[in-house]
Copies of this chain bind each other. A is one copy, B any other.
Amino acid sequence: MKIIIDAMGGDNAPGAPVEAAARASKTLDAQLVLVGNFDAVQAELNKYEYDKSKIEIVHATEVISNHEEPVKAVKSKRDASVVVAAQMLKRGEGDALLSMGSTGALLAAALLIVGRIKGIMRPAIASLLPSAKGPKMLIDSGANTRSKKGNLLQFALMGSVYMKNVLGIKNPTVGLISNGEEEEKGIELVKETHPLLKAAPVNFIGNIEGRDVMEGTADVMVCDGFVGNVILKTVEGMGHVVSSKIKEIFTSGLLSKLGALLVMKGIKSFRKSMDYREYGGAPLLGTKKPVIKGHGSSDAKAVYSAIKQAIKFVETNVIEDIKNTIDTLEDEADG
Contact = CB atoms under 8 A, between A and B. Distances in A.
Interface string A213-224: 111000000000
Nearest to A210: B233
A281 to B, nearest CB: 18
A103 to B, nearest CB: 10
Interface in A104-162: 131-132, 142, 145-146
A199 interface: no
B227 A230 contact: yes
A205 interface: no
Contacts of A266: 248-250, 252, 256
Contact of A131 (B210, B241, B259, B270): B241
A145 B236 contact: no
Interface in A169-190: 177-180, 185-188
A178 B226 CA distance: 7
B211 A237 contact: yes
A230 B233 contact: no
Nearest to A234: B210
A212 B241 CA distance: 10
Given A256-B266, A263-B263, A210 B236 contact: yes
A43 interface: no
A202 interface: no
A10 interface: no
A245 B240 CA distance: 16
Interface string A82-110: 00000000000000000000000000000
Contacts of A211: 233-234, 236-237, 240
Contact of A259 (B229, B236, B238, B262): B262
A231 interface: yes
Nearest to A182: B67
Given A213-B237, A236-B211, A270-B249, A230 B263 contact: no
Interface of A: 131-132, 142, 145-146, 177-180, 185-188, 209-215, 225-227, 229-242, 244-246, 248-250, 252, 255-256, 258-263, 266-267, 270
Given A214-B238, A230-B231, 8 more contacts: A146-B188, A178-B226, A209-B230, A210-B236, A234-B234, A250-B266, A259-B261, A259-B263
